[in-house]
Amino acid sequence: MAQTDLTRYFLSQQLTALGVSRYEFCLVDANSGRAERHLWSASHALSRLGWLKHRNANEWHIYLRPEAREPIVLVDDLSEAGVESMRADGLGALCVVESSPNNFQAWVRIAESPIPHELVTGIGEVLATRYDADLRAKSFRQPGRAVGFTNVKPKHKQDNGLFPFVRLTEASGLRAEHPEALVDAARTLLQKRRASRAQVRNRYLKRSKRVGLEDPRSFFENAVAYICQQYGADTDLSRADAAAARRMLTQGYAPADVADAMLRSSAIHERRGCRAADYVDRTVAWAVDHVG
């Protein structure tokens, strides 16, 4: 009797539970940070399974997410208690994945037709806050782990030298009950944030009339370089980026200029790969919320 290919079996279940026409597969080399994106149907993804396994065996992370137009939210870094709380609240998940031992990801469908990306991200923030999940993973673009492959983060390497498999713990395809309440909560959150940022933007505009501003990308890269010079090999590059972004805001650059400067920085793309845009969004949002 032929042996069942468990990766094919469980990945097929995950894709069926998510139930969309196309998926973005994001592959990241754990050693170099190099990233690749592929937009595939479920059937095409399964036809490339041997190649995906080969990449994973060579310590590439295998992520996926439904095509961006789909109103589906990833709730990342959940505890088992968090998953149970979601169920108790009627938040049925399309599927639940154990991404590393005792750490879970849940995919939640909010609507049947597309809604604004900003609103999807807002719902991600509401859910992450409510269930003590990872706020950094709130973006509508956030990928999750593909099941049946190993999680090749060095911290998860086992005593036998192997990495743990990403497991599918639920694939019910359930929809969230009363998703309109989540939509309302996200709208309220976003309205408050817009009002707060409008006040901050007005301060930037007043400053920008008084300050002759250099090219945003040059300012950002020079600020990061200065921080790296101060801290040397101990520099936390994520903190350096955030500090440079905040410095730009205090000098009168608008948030959009900061984001553009970061997106034009080749160093960020080399480090963040297919997650660069999400990383920039989070960093600029943090800087706006923490500017003095």
For the ranges 1-10, 71-80, 150-159, 208-217, the lowest mean pLDDT is seen at 208-217
C-beta separation of 286 from 262 below 8 A: no
- Mean pLDDT value across residues 159-188: 91
Tens of pLDDT along 244-268?
998 888 887 888 888 888 888 888 8
The model's pTM: 0.74
Tens of pLDDT along 230-243?
888 888 888 899 99
Q: Tokens standing for 171?
A: 């694939």
- Residue 188 CA, distance from chain mean position: 22
- Residue 139 CA, distance from chain mean position: 5
Query: Could you give the 3-state DSSP secondary structure of residue 238?
Result: helix
Order of all β-strands in the sheet with 60-66: 35-40, 23-29, 60-66, 144-145
Query: Could you give the 3-state DSSP secondary structure of residue 96?
Result: strand
Q: What's the CA gap between 138 and 176, in Å, rounded?
A: 17
C-beta separation of 75 from 105 below 8 A: yes
Q: What's the CA gap between 80 and 146, in Å, rounded?
A: 19
Answer whether residue 76 shows pLDDT above 50.
Answer: yes
Question: Which residue is listed with tokens 């154990």?
Answer: 98
pLDDT of 212 reads 57
**Selection from 94-103, 109-118, 271-280 with the highest mean pLDDT:** 94-103
- Mean pLDDT value across residues 73-91: 94
Answer whether residue 57 shows pLDDT above 90.
Answer: yes
Q: Are strands 72-78 and 167-170 parallel, antiparallel or unpaired?
A: unpaired
